[in-house]
Amino acid sequence: IDEVELSSSDNSMKIRVQRDSPSPLGRGEIDVVGGHDDRSESSASSRGDVNLDGVGSTEPTQLFLFIEREAWGDAVTRSEQHSDEAGLWVIRKDFNGECWLRQLPLHAASMRCPPFELVSSLLKSFPTGARMKDHRDRLPLHWACENGASTKVIEALVNSFPSSIQATDNDGNNPLACAERSKH
């Protein structure tokens, strides 16, 4: 277990980080939404307001597949060679067509204790990814803290978006609460 001190001008916290924590995603239909989203920590989202206009495919990107398989080297290479894929949202819908998952590759990676090199590459390819909230109003930092990402990964996410340490998800949890709840 590692510890990292995070602070901003008006808030500080300590996050305990553990490395080996599985976080499998569920199953369902996958769609890829093209383009970059303007959602950020300050603009709340919910499951109901996900715009599915522009759904381009029922297949995830190759980058997203590498991340799901935890093929980290392949994911880093893909992110560097196809940087546009870092900004594509992947949407999963249930059998009724309801959106139950909406993530960027950075969210998906943050759920799986990624290597720093991948997070660095994803942030270089799509710098605003650290500000984007998913279907649960979570930033990548929420997922990284909950799933025991390395200190370097957490620091990279915080440095990309310092206000993220104060951001709450749709359950009212900030990243520290996510880490505490999961005992990381």
> From first to last of its 184 residues, what are the pLDDT tens digits of the chain?
344 544 444 444 444 333 333 333 333 443 444 444 443 433 333 333 444 333 334 468 999 999 999 999 999 999 999 999 999 999 888 888 888 888 999 999 999 999 999 999 999 999 999 999 999 999 999 999 999 999 999 999 999 999 999 999 999 999 999 999 987 6
Q: How far is CA 168 from CA 44, 49, 61, 95, in A?
A: 9, 18, 28, 29
How long, in residues, is the chain? 184
Answer CATH for 2-39+52-181 from 3.10.129.10, 3.40.980.10, 1.20.910.10, 1.25.40.20 = 1.25.40.20
Q: Cα(22)–Cα(8) distance, rounded to whole angstroms?
A: 30
CA 15 vs. chain centroid, Å, equals: 17
pTM of the complete model beyond 0.85: no
Quick one: residue 28, left, alpha or beta (phi over 0 = left, psi -120 to 50 = alpha)?
left
The confidence score (pLDDT) of residue 184 equals: 64
